[in-house]
Amino acid sequence: MKRCVILLTVVVLAGGPATAAAGQQADYEQLAREMYAELIALRSTADMPGNVKAAAEAMQRRLIDAGFPAEDVVVVSPHPELGNVVARFRGQAPGGGPPTKAPVMLMAHLDVVDALRSDWEFDPFELREIDGYFYGRGTDDNKAGVVHIVVNFIRLLEEGYVPDRDLIAVLTADEETSSDGIKYLVRERRDLVDAAFAINADAGGGELFNGEPNIFNVQAGEKIYVTFHVTATNPGGHSSRPRPDNAIYDLTMALARLSEFTFPVDVGEVARLYFGRSAAFNDGQTAVDMRAVAQDPPDREAAARLSADSPFFNAVLHTTCVATRLAAGHADNALPQTAQATVNCRVLPGQNPDDIEVTLREVIGNDDIEVTRVNTPTASDPSPLNDEIMGILEPIVEEMWPGLPIIPTMSTGATDGNYARNAGIPVYGVAAIFGDPNDSRAHGQNERVGIKEFYDAQEFWYRMLQRLSGGGK
C-alpha cells in the first residue's frame, strides 16, 4: 500500500542536511513497523525460496513506489528462484555533477533460519509487540537491518536529501546458507555493487548492561572457517588377534597431540583495539592483562591467563582447531580399518589457511594419517576501524548515547561480510541495535528485539547514511 506522504521536490545542495520536518520521524517509525510486519510474515527460509523472492520484490516495490527510478532498484540472482535487491541512491558532487567519492554499500539479508510453531510460544511468522519487545523470526537476524536501510532510503529521498556519493543497498537472499548472492554480486556484478567500503546491518550492535547501553560494538573482522577430515586407515583383522598398529589408536594419539597444542598468540589490529578499550570495563588482573595483550608485542603470559579464563578471549587471541566428530570401526569383533575425526578450525583473519593445514599436519605427526579439507575457506582480511569510519560513527554515538565507547569486535562465525571483505571491500558490522549480550536469540526460540532499541537503531541509520555521504551535522 502506498503511503500518503507529500513528496518534497526541494533538492538540497549535495551534502547538505536533510530537510526534516517536525513530526516526520513518527511517520517513518510507523512505516518501519509496517514493513517489519510484512517481512516477518514471509517465512523466507532456504526451503521456501518463493518467500525470499517475495520479500525481495516487496522491498523493490516500496523503493520504486517511493520514487527511486526502476532501473536503480533491481532484483538479481545467480539462482532464478531467489532474488537479491540492489538499490542505488544516486549521489552528486557538491556543486553538481557526478560524485567524486566511491559509493558505500549497505548490507542486510532477507532470508531467515526456519522456526517451528511448536518450538515457540506463538506463531514465529507474525510480528508481535509484548512488554517492550518485537517478537518474530528475523526480528533480530536480520529483518530489522533490512527495514532500517529501506525505510531510511525512502525517508531521505522524500526529504529531498542528495548524498555526495552513491549509496548502494544490497539485500541478499541466502546469507544463512550458501551466501551465493553476495559472492555473485562481488565477483560477477561488481559494476552494480562496487564500493569504497560496506556497512553491514547483520553484525555489530550494542550491549545493554542492566538495561542501559554500555558498549557500542562494530564488527570489523571475521575468522575463517575451515574443516578437515583426519583419517587413519589400517588393514584390520580379527579382534581376537590384536596388533600394535591400530587405526583407532593412531587417530586418538594424533588427537591427543592436537588437544595439547595451542596456535601462537596473534593480536591483530581489531583485537588490539578490542582489548585496549575493553580494559576500562573490567577490573583486577583481567584489566591489567587486557592492557598487556594490547601492547606491541603482546604479553604472552597475559594472553595465556585471559585464554584460560574465557573461551571467547582464547578464540580472539588464537587460531583454533578442535575435534568435533568421530567415526571409527565397523564391527565389535574386528580391528578397525578406518578411524576418522572431523577437525574444525577457525583461522584468525590475515592468516593463511594453507599454513594452518601445514601446522595441523605437524601436530598430528604421522604421515600415514590423511588430512583432507572438507570445505574451501574464504579468506577475510580484517577491516580495522580507520579514521574515516570512526569520524562517521563517533559523533553519532556521542549524540545518541553520550560517553559510550565504540569497541571493535571480531566474529567467530561468518556473514555475507566475509565475502565482500574477501573481494577487497572493507566491511564494518554496525547493526546499532542494543541488546543483552547473554540473551541473543538469533536462530533460536522467541527471537526478539527491544522496541525502543529497534527505533533507536532506525534513527542511528538515518544519521549514519547522511554522515556517510556528506550530510549530517
**Binding region for Zn ion (CB under 5 A):** 141-142, 202
Task: Report the number of secondary-structure helices (H) and strands (E) in the chain.
Answer: 14, 19
In degrees and rounded to multiples of 5, residue 148 shows phi and psi of -65, -35
180 vs 202, beta carbon nearer Zn ion = 202
Residue 313's alpha-carbon distances to 222, 316, 339, 353, in angstroms, are 14, 5, 32, 21
Count of positions (residues) in the chain: 473
Q: Are 309 and 286 in contact, with CB atoms under 8 Å apart? A: yes
3-state secondary structure of 192: helix
Residue identified by cell 576418522 is 340
- Our CB check for Zn ion shows the closer of 69 and 413 to be 413
Contacts of 153 (CB under 8 A, 6+ apart): 63, 66, 68, 87, 89, 167, 169, 465
- Give the span between the Cα atoms of 309 and 444, in whole angstroms: 27
> Which residues make Cβ contacts (< 8 Å) with residue 22, sequence separation at least 6?
none
Please classify residue 63 by burial: count the beta carbons closer than 10 Å to its beta carbon, then call 0-12 exposed, 13-18 middle and 19+ buried.
buried
Pick between residue 142 and residue 286 the one whose CB is nearest to Zn ion: 142
Grid cell listed for 411: 566474529
**Helix (H, G, I), strand (E, B), or coil: what is residue 410?**
strand
Identity of the residue, 219 or 231, whose beta carbon is nearer to Zn ion in the bound complex: 219
Dig out the grid coordinates for 49 from the structure. 525460496
- Using the structure block, give the residue that is written with the C-alpha cell 592468516: 351
Taking the complex as a whole, the smallest distance from the CB of residue 440 to Zn ion amounts, in Å, to 11
Q: How far apart are CA 347 and CA 263, in angstroms?
A: 10
Between 112 and 303, whose beta carbon lies closer to Zn ion?
A: 112
Q: Select from 72, 17, 11 the least CA-distant residue to 469.
A: 17
CA distance 265 to 315: 10
Residue 431 beta carbon to Zn ion: minimum distance, rounded to whole angstroms: 9
Query: Min. distance of Cβ 174 from Zn ion in angstroms?
Result: 11
Output phi, psi for 315, to 5 deg: -70, -30
Q: Which DSSP string do the residues of 416-455 spell out, in sequence order?
A: THHHHHHTT--EEE----EE-TT---TTSTT-EEEHHHHH
3-state secondary structure 85-106: EEEEECCCCCCCCCCCCCCEEE
Bridge partners, 371 (sequence order): 230
Q: Are 67 and 158 in contact (CB under 8 A)?
A: yes
Q: Which residues contact 387 (CB under 8 A, 6 or more apart)?
A: none
